[in-house]
Chain A
Amino acid sequence: MGDSKSDVLQGTLDLMVLKTLEAMGPLHGYGIARRIEQVSGDTLTLNQGTIYPALLRLEQRGWVKAEWGMSESNRRAKYYSLTRPGRKQIESETENWERIAATMARFLAPSN
């Protein structure tokens, strides 16, 4: 595990999950995965399974919490929701991401 490529992916994935939960409220893993796929359209191919280690990581840090409930299709599912530190984290991560995106944009802008 743990080489730099997946780090990048993990970092973005974490923020995507957090943002999804912020937008949608409590949601189960499949719902989160589908939502990310829908929002990103065709630009991102996601192995849905990778969402679970990410969810665990967020849960271990105390940014999301999980509890079992019933889904709209009447199946048992584990629902994840943002915690208070999780909400605060979104702010700082969003800022951070925007800074990186802006930096990258400057590098990628056509120059002469």
Chain B
Amino acid sequence: MRPNMTRPGISDTLRTISNRIAAFFHRNRLDRDLDAELRSHIAHAIDENMAHGMSRSEARIAALRSFGGVTQTRETYRIRRGLPLFDQIARDFRYGWRQLVRAPGFALTAILTLALGLGANTAVFSLINALLLRPLPVPHAAELAIIQVEESNSDGPSYSLNEPELRALEKRHDAFSSTSAFFSTKFQLHGTSGSLQVPGQLVSGEYFATMQVAPLLGRYLAPADDVENGGPAGYAAVISENFWRTWFNSSPNAVGSKLIVANAPFTVVGVMPRGFFGADPTRHPSIFVPLSSEPVVDAPFNMIASGWSGNWLNLIARRKPFISLAQANAALQAETSAILLDSHPNAFALDDIRTNHLHFVAESGAKGFTYLRADFRKPLMVVFSLCGGVLLLACLNLASLLLARAAARERELATRLAIGATRLRLIRQLLIESLLIALLGTAAGLAVSPLVSNALAVLLLSRNPDAALDTSLDARVFVFAALIAVLSSILIGLLPALRATSGNLNEQIKSGSQARSRRDSRRLLPRLVMGTQVALALMLVTGAGLLAASLTRLYRTNLGFDPKGLVHLQLDMDKQPLAGDALLRWYQQFGEALSHQPGVQGVSFEWGVPLSGSGMTTYYRNQPKNHEQLLYGNDVAPGYFAAMRVPMLGGRDFRWDDTSAAGRKVILNQAAANLFFPGRSAVGQSIYTYDNKITLQVIAVVGNVHYRSIQAEPPPTAYYPISQTFYATSDNGPPEPLKKSYFAVIRLAGPPAAFAATARNLAARMAPEIPAPAMTSMTAQIDESISSERMMAMLAAFFGLCALLVTAIGLYGTLAYATSRRTSEIGIRIALGAQRTHVVRLVFRENAWVAVTGCLAGLIATLFASRALASILYSTSTHDPLILFASVASLMAVASAASLMPAIRAARIEPMEALRAE
């Protein structure tokens, strides 16, 4: 039992704490109060003593004696009153701030390097968060599952399913309470002033039931809406809160009103709440319509009609509670044959199961689904590791600078230890200094990171203009930023703090600044830190070099055509009156008119622009009985190969009079010709469609063109004359005239800007109904097709430069500190006759050792780490000797420059001044 009787209850304790906290914030007033009270006490005591006959001074001395220590009382009282730890920490922060202000150059360097490291990390993390981490904002997102198809004969899972598969899956409710499909596209919305495009989504009946987000107004779409013609009241639609605000001015009458999408009426039945965007986190549809309306809104396409051969839908389902993902997968596996038989012609279904082991797989859908994830996971991870490297480098750099600075403060700290400060107290204070740097750096980094992440998102999404990444700073990003800020401040501060407070203080005070006795063991640590920094910098510089080399090689790749001076005009012919032969003649006349414009060297038309991501493929045989081969296809007009500068290797070009009546013609590229007619001339031969219905005569062979991507081998390609594409053949009835949209391909000699206006005017005159054609240059198309490679290379180059700069600052800073502390030693050496060049060598040697060993270690680490880059490098070895050599050379050059400056300054030391200063 403690004899202390004043054991307080819980409420007493709480009151004490709240009193203390209040006191913490009223320190100054309370201090004055206490002083007044103590003065009053002494005054009363003096009064009494004088009343007993003492003189004033005797009375005063007696009063103070019986009081005890006034200062001690005040200190005990203060500790008792406030939050001593808080008080001390606040004092440490103020002290740390003064230390920073005293060395503004150091402070600015420190804060900027950290801001760079932390800002870049936060920016990239917010991209990763947006794309890979953030769950969908729907109830119980963990129950969601994405359904995909795996086949043994394809490279990976396919996330695109067809409509019959959806309908077959939708019927089954063993594992999933609901199963739904969605497809994002642009809707042509009829407004008061013409039509405009709005982002939209086609969704199947159970989509909203899967999302489980209650509508803000009205109801959401149900299976009854997802039927042909949309049920008795026509098609229904649900709109987003944002669209409701802008289009309907937040009117409650929006529900029930009509929207005209692609010339068809849709009745708005509900408004979804703000923040709901559906299952694709990169899309924010304004209008959701039933999947069954696809032939209407998607015209002239009709994916539903393409049935089991059209894979276009993403599937998202909600697991029943208590059904695990594994159980759901087992259920899917068990039903695969039934589902396939429901959705495919029997022969195909059985073939797929037996030979291709096709089966449906459910994976977690908590984060929804976007194709971008697969595209950008790797580039983002590469960039993230680069950022991590830069941050680590920044921290090591600051640690080494602080080590050097702490060495300069050894005497101050030793003195404080000697007069009674505890080591913990000093460590805390030094850590708070580094925390202050980290906090300021994080604040600066956080301020710029939204700009950086937006810029990166734009760069990444240049090929996906309809997609958007929500890179806003949410709780996860802030936690991440706070975490790395704290980690870096510990990394920065702990080592120097431990080091600086471990010294033998007696020796420290005795020996003064010329103490050199413990040099070897004491200097190993800073050297180790600097060496690690050099090694890390080398890794970053080499990584940047490899990515840059890979990018250069991408640009230098012979694409099979000449991209310089090539532009494309997108002609959108859906909504104009001409069709069939009339439209073909229009193309010919338009091409003729374009070719007479100044600076135009060649004009043609094509369906698919190289590297644009669009493509069609068809199976052909070289003999009716032989096995079929897949050919990439493109419709082209006469003069295409000349305009593109694709070499003609034999045969003749298409002509405008190569109509279907004159027999179907095809031009093959060399890869296709080798595939079908190895070792003999393909010109004059025939190829057959997989169903043997159509025979095409090969009239020429041309060079290979990289259609898919720069990295991929040019696909075996078949070119069809556009003069044979303007009619749809049907088994029963006459051929139907089509409104085909093509790109005009133009080779320009002059600047494209002037030509753009000319082309727009010409199109407006010759086809007033079509939208103004958008012009893109082939070089821009190439840039877009390798946007993630460009992003990686640009960031890596930037980080590499930063790494060089930061390392230079580190090497310079630490050596300058160390040298300034050796001023007297060097002064004596010079006084004793040391050559100035010898002094330069002496100082320079300190860093040379660090730089060389750091480089060696870095080189070894690089050889291992660069393997991670292997899969994203294009025809560049991770051990490319030139890159490795250049990286080492640049790092050594920077290190030498940074070390030479302090060395030269040391050589200029005047011995007399140096000794007098001591």
B915 to chain A, nearest CB (A): 49
Q: Which residues of A contact B48 (CB under 8 A)?
A: 34
Q: Which of A30, A53, A89 contacts B40, CB < 8 Å? A: A30
B66 to chain A, nearest CB (A): 5
- B85: interface (CB < 8 Å): no
- B8: interface (CB < 8 Å): yes
Interface bits B2-36 vs A (CB < 8 Å: 1, else 0): 11111010001001100110000000000001101
Cβ-defined contact, B4 with A8, below 8 A: yes
Cβ-defined contact, B3 with A52, below 8 A: no
- B69: interface (CB < 8 Å): yes
Cβ-defined contact, A93 with B5, below 8 A: yes
Q: Complex Cα distance A52/B67, Å?
A: 11
Closest Cβ neighbor of A15 among chain B residues: B5
Q: Which B28-52 residues have C-beta < 8 A from chain A?
A: 33-34, 36-38, 40-41, 43-45, 47-48
B226 to chain A, nearest CB (A): 69
Cβ-defined contact, B6 with A15, below 8 A: yes
Q: Which residues of A contact B33 (CB under 8 A)?
A: 78
Closest Cβ neighbor of B11 among chain A residues: A62
Q: Which A1-46 residues have C-beta < 8 A from chain B?
A: 1, 4, 7-8, 10-11, 14-15, 28-31, 33-34
Q: Which B641-698 residues have C-beta < 8 A from chain A?
A: none
Cβ-defined contact, A52 with B37, below 8 A: yes
Interface 9-mer from B74-82, B397-405, B779-787: B74-82
Cβ-defined contact, B69 with A49, below 8 A: yes
Q: Complex Cα distance A28/B45, Å?
A: 12
Closest Cβ neighbor of B72 among chain A residues: A49
B59 to chain A, nearest CB (A): 13
Q: Complex Cα distance A73/B45, Å?
A: 11
Cβ-defined contact, A77 with B40, below 8 A: yes
- B296: interface (CB < 8 Å): no
- B70: interface (CB < 8 Å): yes
Chain B residues packing against A (C-beta within 8 Å): 2-6, 8, 12, 15-16, 19-20, 33-34, 36-38, 40-41, 43-45, 47-48, 66-70, 72-73, 76-77, 79-81
Q: A53-B77, A56-B81, A61-B15 are in contact. Are A73 and B47 (CB under 8 A)?
A: yes
Cβ-defined contact, A73 with B68, below 8 A: no
Q: Which of B3, B20, B36 contacts A8, CB < 8 Å? A: B3
Cβ-defined contact, A48 with B6, below 8 A: no
Q: Which residues of A contact B41 (CB under 8 A)?
A: 28-30, 33, 48, 77
Cβ-defined contact, A93 with B6, below 8 A: yes
Cβ-defined contact, A7 with B68, below 8 A: no
B27 to chain A, nearest CB (A): 14
Can you name 8 A-B residue pairings with CB atoms under 8 Å?
A4-B2, A14-B5, A28-B40, A47-B69, A48-B41, A50-B76, A59-B19, A93-B5
- A102: interface (CB < 8 Å): no
A92 to chain B, nearest CB (A): 8
Q: A48-B66, A56-B77 are in contact. Are A11 and B3 (CB under 8 A)?
A: yes
Closest Cβ neighbor of B41 among chain A residues: A30
A67 to chain B, nearest CB (A): 11
Q: Complex Cα distance A13/B68, Å?
A: 16
Cβ-defined contact, A73 with B5, below 8 A: no
Q: Complex Cα distance A78/B16, Å?
A: 20
Majority DSSP secondary structure for residues of A touching B: helix
Cβ-defined contact, B40 with A75, below 8 A: yes
Cβ-defined contact, A53 with B80, below 8 A: yes
A7 to chain B, nearest CB (A): 5
Closest Cβ neighbor of B51 among chain A residues: A73
Q: A10-B4, A14-B5, A52-B34 are in contact. Are A61 and B16 (CB under 8 A)?
A: yes
Q: Which residues of A contact B66 (CB under 8 A)?
A: 47-48
Q: Which of A30, A60, A89, A100 contacts B3, CB < 8 Å? A: A100
Interface bits A64-75 vs B (CB < 8 Å: 1, else 0): 000000010101
Q: Which residues of B contact A14 (CB under 8 A)?
A: 5-6
Chain A residues packing against B (C-beta within 8 Å): 1, 4, 7-8, 10-11, 14-15, 28-31, 33-34, 47-50, 52-53, 56-62, 71, 73, 75-78, 89, 93, 96-97, 100
Closest Cβ neighbor of A10 among chain B residues: B4
Q: A52-B77, A60-B15 are in contact. Are A11 and B40 (CB under 8 A)?
A: no
Q: Give 5 new A-B contacts, CB below 8 A, not counting A28-B44, A57-B6, A76-B36.
A: A4-B2, A11-B5, A48-B66, A49-B38, A77-B44
Closest Cβ neighbor of A32 among chain B residues: B41
Q: Which residues of A contact B36 (CB under 8 A)?
A: 76, 78
Q: Which residues of B contact A57 (CB under 8 A)?
A: 6, 80
Q: Which of A4, A49, A61 contacts B8, CB < 8 Å? A: A61
Q: Which residues of A contact B16 (CB under 8 A)?
A: 60-61
Q: Complex Cα distance A76/B32, Å?
A: 14
Cβ-defined contact, A76 with B47, below 8 A: no
Cβ-defined contact, B80 with A56, below 8 A: yes
Q: Which residues of B contact A31 (CB under 8 A)?
A: 44
Q: Which residues of B contact A97 (CB under 8 A)?
A: 5
Cβ-defined contact, A49 with B3, below 8 A: no
Chain A CB count within 10 A is highest, among B6, B45, B48, for: B6
Q: Complex Cα distance A75/B371, Å?
A: 83
Closest Cβ neighbor of B16 among chain A residues: A60
Cβ-defined contact, B15 with A1, below 8 A: no
B751 to chain A, nearest CB (A): 81
Closest Cβ neighbor of B33 among chain A residues: A78
Cβ-defined contact, B5 with A96, below 8 A: yes
Cβ-defined contact, A75 with B77, below 8 A: no
Q: Which residues of A contact B20 (CB under 8 A)?
A: 60
Cβ-defined contact, B72 with A76, below 8 A: no
Cβ-defined contact, B4 with A30, below 8 A: no
Q: Complex Cα distance A8/B72, Å?
A: 20
Q: Complex Cα distance A31/B41, Å?
A: 9
A99 to chain B, nearest CB (A): 9
Q: Complex Cα distance A71/B42, Å?
A: 13
Shortest Cβ-Cβ A-B pairs, 9 listed: A47-B68, A49-B73, A11-B4, A30-B44, A49-B68, A60-B16, A96-B5, A61-B12, A30-B41
Cβ-defined contact, B40 with A47, below 8 A: no
Closest Cβ neighbor of A95 among chain B residues: B5
Q: Complex Cα distance A1/B84, Å?
A: 12
Q: Which residues of A contact B19 (CB under 8 A)?
A: 59-60
Q: Complex Cα distance A4/B40, Å?
A: 31
Cβ-defined contact, B68 with A75, below 8 A: no
B40 to chain A, nearest CB (A): 5
Cβ-defined contact, A71 with B34, below 8 A: no
Q: A56-B81, A78-B40 are in contact. Are A49 and B67 (CB under 8 A)?
A: yes
B609 to chain A, nearest CB (A): 79
A48 to chain B, nearest CB (A): 5
A54 to chain B, nearest CB (A): 9
Q: Which of A62, A76, A77 contacts B12, CB < 8 Å? A: A62
Q: Complex Cα distance A97/B81, Å?
A: 26
B9 to chain A, nearest CB (A): 9
Q: Which residues of A contact B68 (CB under 8 A)?
A: 47-50
Q: Which residues of A contact B80 (CB under 8 A)?
A: 53, 56-57, 60
Cβ-defined contact, A53 with B76, below 8 A: yes
Closest Cβ neighbor of B4 among chain A residues: A11
Q: Which of B4, B8, B67, B81 contacts A7, CB < 8 Å? A: B4
A15 to chain B, nearest CB (A): 6
A93 to chain B, nearest CB (A): 5
Q: Complex Cα distance A92/B38, Å?
A: 31
Q: Which residues of B contact A100 (CB under 8 A)?
A: 3, 5
Q: A29-B41, A48-B68, A49-B70 are in contact. Are A62 and B15 (CB under 8 A)?
A: yes
Q: Which residues of B contact A7 (CB under 8 A)?
A: 2-4
